[in-house]
Amino acid sequence: MNIQTKQQCDIAENVLDNLNTAIVLLDGDSKVLCINPAAEMLLGVSSNKITSKGIAQLLIDDELVTAIEETLKSNHPFMQRERVVQLIDRKVTVDISVQPILSPLPLDKNDKRLLIEFSQLDRHLRISREENLLAQHETIQALLRSMAHEVKNPLGGIRGAAQLLERELNNPDLAEYTQVIIDEADRLKKLVDRMLGPNSRPNKIKVNIHSVSERVRSLLKTDKNKDVKIFFDYDPSIPDVTFDPEHLIQAVLNIVRNATQALSEQDQSGKKKKNKTITIKTRIMRHFNIGHKRHKLVAKMDIIDNGPGISEQMQERIFMPLITGRAEGTGLGLSIAQSLVSQNGGLIECHSHPGKTIFSLLLPITDV
């Protein structure tokens, strides 16, 4: 190999290593010749461990492995959009392109090459979902402010009229009815105020995020649900985050109490779940998007329970006020939690299936 050819190979290798697209190159026996760093990150495997191994050891997806092997035989490329691929430890959503590397010269089996490109969509889908959540939250807040104005004005008039009427009544027994009007007007006003959430600006200070979960731990000691066990999995490397600690404590408390109530309910068979657990886990995310804004560092707090889960239809509306899956619920806890976290520049996400529900609080770390 001459110097110019070697330089060209080095440049090609450098380009491959810096691509965001995950690239896997197979030989004619469906064995991995090489993968680039993006593929190592996406597929969760190192190049040293997977090189010379079969593609079936990389993808736990018989249908996809069969399609790749058929491409080697037929030399016909194929592409799949938004394919959910099962990996060793998780699932990812990707666009897949499988392309034989053809040569004008006849090739035997050992000379065949197959180029597989994985374009990860999870990140784009998550960003789109978060932008929808943020837009939904802003729309709901605007609607609530408008509704609060329209409701509180006549409530004030009703309450004032009831007080005036009470003064004019000569029969004390009739005052009981006017008091009912006053009490119900006050109750409706409090409900509207709760729907709006806190009306004060957040008092942001630098706080260790784990002090919040420890405060929640102490508050939960007085709760009645003693059969629910709470575990903590902390990442001690997370730096201090700038937020209002009272806001975050209330948000975490609302979510944890929702989880304990869900765990305490009976399932459809009428049997109560054993080994009810909630885990509060903290991790740090690097170069992470919250909505359309990219942050260098983000603190992530996951609140995980092993309860019955939340239906897909309910997950789409879970943060809307007055939406609840429980007969005795008010549907305000999660709406208020989202509002509190949003005021501090963060976001709450929810992922759920039967046996596992995760509420993720995402808070940007700005002072780094």
| Mean residue pLDDT across the chain | 79
Residues 300, 365 contacting (CB under 8 angstroms):
no
Q: What is the pLDDT of residue 143?
A: 73
What is the CB-side half-sphere exposure of residue 91 using CA atoms within 13 A? 7
Instruction: Give the count of beta carbons closer than 10 Å to the beta carbon of residue 248.
Output: 27
Using the predicted structure, report yes or no on whether residue 117 has a pLDDT greater than 60: yes
pLDDT at site 285: 84
Q: Is the pLDDT reported for residue 253 higher than 50? A: yes
- pLDDT at 268 (0 to 100): 44
Q: Please tell me the predicted confidence (pLDDT) of residue 75.
A: 86
Phi, psi torsion values for 244, nearest 5 degrees:
-85, 110
Q: Which CATH class is domain 200-368?
A: alpha beta
For residues 68 and 325, the model is more confident at 68
Q: Given pLDDT bands bounded at 50, 70 and 90, which one contains residue 225?
A: low
Q: Of all residues in the chain, what percent carry a pLDDT higher than 70?
A: 77
**pLDDT tens per residue, range 89-107:** 677 888 899 988 865 544 4
Instruction: Flag whether pLDDT at 282 surpasses 90.
Output: yes
Residue 165: strand, helix, or coil: helix
Question: Which residue blocks in the chain are alpha helix, DSSP H?
Answer: 3-17, 37-43, 47-50, 62-74, 122-168, 175-196, 209-220, 245-264, 312-315, 333-343
Task: Kindly report, residue by residue over 11-54, the tens digit of the pLDDT.
Answer: 555 667 777 788 898 888 888 888 888 888 788 788 888 888 88
Q: How confident is the model at residue 303 (pLDDT cuts 50, 70, 90)?
A: very high
Q: Is the pLDDT of residue 279 over 90?
A: yes
When the candidates are 3.30.43.10, 3.30.450.20, 3.40.50.300, 3.40.50.150, the CATH number that belongs to 3-120 is: 3.30.450.20
Q: Are strands 356-365 and 347-353 parallel, antiparallel or unpaired?
A: antiparallel
pLDDT for res 148: 72
Question: Locate tokens 């009229």: which residue?
Answer: 161
The answer to whether the beta carbons of residues 206 and 248 sit under 8 Å apart is no
With beta carbons less than 8 A apart as the criterion, state whether 260 and 353 touch: no
pLDDT at 189: 80
**pLDDT value of position 30:** 87
**pLDDT tens digits along 174-205:** 888 888 888 888 888 877 776 666 666 778 88
Q: Compute the average pLDDT of residues 332-355.
A: 84
The lowest-confidence range among 66-70, 122-126, 172-176, 185-189 is: 122-126
Q: Whose CA is closest to 236, among 202, 191, 300, 283? A: 283
Higher pLDDT: 66 or 318? It is 66
Please state, in angstroms and rounded to a whole number, the distance separating the CA atoms of residues 127 and 288: 10
Asked if residue 337 lies in contact with residue 251, where contact means CB atoms within 8 angstroms, the answer is: yes
Mean pLDDT, residues 216-237: 82
